[in-house]
Structure 1
Amino acid sequence: MTYTSEHPPVPSAEELRARIPGWGADLDPADRPSVPKLRPEDTGAHWDFPERQPETKPRERSIEHAFLTPVFGTSTPLRGLSGRIRRHAYERYSEARAAHWLLLLLGDRVDAWESNARSFATRRPDNPITETGVHAELTYHGLRSRIHDTRADRAHQWMDPIIVAGPWLVAGAIGLGVIRAVLRHGR
């Protein structure tokens, strides 16, 4: 059957039944075992539309939707620069646009950087050696496993140290520069 710009021919139910064995076996509700389960009066729901969860703080919502879903997550409220980036993605761009999703990805990266920076204000800051896998690379045959031909990530292995250690080195250089500036002003 070739498809043209016109609607393709639709065969009748009798033609389909003659051509395909068993076609239309579930058209009669008496033959369907799931029919009693599909009846809406048997669901036990006491509402047509569920009660809305109260929105205590403004939530991000797509510009395509008139309102939030009746129940929504509040586990990670938006905060800081990453929250502003995410809010901008939802307020300005449709979900069908790449800019929307790229801004959300940028917001995730900025949130990771903010979390790393916040960890230095705690009594137990992040440990980049153990949390980035560098310790495992040195102790569990990491170098030997990296040179095998069967690894899927061989093409970008040269970037791993830059991506993992780069932000820590930049942050350390900035911190060292700030300490030197403070010490010079103290003299």
Structure 2
Amino acid sequence: MEPITHNPSQLPGWNIDNDPDNDPTYPMRTRTPDDHKGYSWERPTQQPINIEVLHSNERPNVTAVFGTSVPPSGLSGVIRRFAFKYSENSYLHWLPLLFADRVNVVEGVLSDLAHGHVPNIFAEKGYPIEWKYDKKGLILKLAAFTAVVAGATVLLTRKKR
């Protein structure tokens, strides 16, 4: 196994797209409609839609293939449905989706507890590996989290008085 490096310039392929002569997307402003004449493809067969699939309101239809493992449900699903009412260039689309992800984590933990399973959050967050390869970073992360929780507790306690 190769050692983990914190210097990106040592990564294989680092900065490969820096050469404008080797970048097919550079510069986009000089593209013409004729550049796309050679692109021809048939849309893949539509995957059957047998669950709720959220998709951008900027697109006329659902993508040909999509994930089905986690359909929107619960409070996070309500938040996602709200987000998909807005354009992809809006904060009202992306920020609720980020929030819905966090809500979904809490829903998952509550679901585990309701089914008699106590989740091993420490392991599921990858902390054992981080402890093995980046002890200092993990200690700093946990110290910052502890400081935030302690600070919030102090603020809430003072507010009640």
Please report the TM-score for the alignment, with normalisation by the length of structure 2.
0.54
Q: 2 CA distance for matches of 1:133 and 1:51?
A: 38
Matched, 1:87 2:72: no
The structural deviation recorded for 1:72 is 1.6
Bigger-Rg structure (1/2): 1
Other structure's SS at 1:50 match: coil
Matched, 1:114 2:99: no
Q: 1 CA distance for matches of 2:122 and 2:55?
A: 38
Q: Deviations over 1:55-114 (max 9, x none)?
A: 1123101110111112222121111100110111002x1000122111100000000000
Matched, 1:161 2:150: no
Aligned to 1:69: 63
Q: Which runs of 4+ in 1 moved over 6 A?
A: 133-137, 139-142
The structural deviation recorded for 1:124 is 2.7
Unaligned runs of 5+ in 2: 1-37, 151-161
Q: Percent of aligned pairs with the same residue?
A: 35
Say whether the 8 Å CA contact 2:83–2:93 is kept in structure 1: yes
Q: 2 CA distance for matches of 1:140 and 1:81?
A: 36
User: Which amino acid in 2 is paired with 1:123?
Assistant: G
Q: 2 CA distance for matches of 1:135 and 1:163?
A: 22
Distance 1:153 1:72, change over 3 A: same
Say whether the 8 Å CA contact 1:132–1:164 is kept in structure 2: no
Matched, 1:60 2:54: yes
Q: 2 CA distance for matches of 1:61 and 1:106?
A: 18
Aligned to 1:123: 116
Q: Comparing 127-136 with 58-67, which one deviates more in the overlay?
A: 127-136
User: Which amino acid in 1 is paired with 2:78?
Assistant: R
Say whether the 8 Å CA contact 1:63–1:90 is kept in structure 2: yes
The structural deviation recorded for 1:50 is 2.9
Aligned length: 113
Distance 1:152 1:133, change over 3 A: closer
Say whether the 8 Å CA contact 1:51–1:70 is kept in structure 2: yes
Distance 1:53 1:125, change over 3 A: same
What is the root-mean-square deviation in Å for CA atoms of aligned residues?
Answer: 3.8
Q: 2 CA distance for matches of 1:39 and 1:95?
A: 26
Unaligned runs of 5+ in 1: 1-37, 166-187
